[in-house]
Amino acid sequence: MDRPWKWTLIAAGCLCVGLGVVGALLPGLPTTIFLIGASWCFTRSCPWLEERLLKAPIFRPFRG
């Protein structure tokens, strides 16, 4: 994979994560689709970022 494409995917993934965080805090803004997009971008560009995304405590299921 060439470097510009890799950095573009990393930037897009970070943008999707940011929108996902905002969506987790604000009602009405979807969260799931942004996190799926971020995971897709990170899988293709930087797998360790995807691993960090999957382990982030803000996106874990709520356990009451």
Predicted pLDDT at 19: 94
Predicted pLDDT at 54: 83
Predicted pLDDT at 5: 93
Predicted pLDDT at 8: 95
Distance CA 52, CA 4 (A): 22
The closest alpha carbon to 38, from 26, 47, 27, belongs to: 47
Predicted pLDDT at 57: 81
Q: pLDDT: is 41 or 57 the higher one? A: 41
What DSSP designation does 50 have?
Answer: H
* pLDDT tens sequence across 4-48: 999 999 999 999 999 988 988 898 989 889 999 999 999 999 989
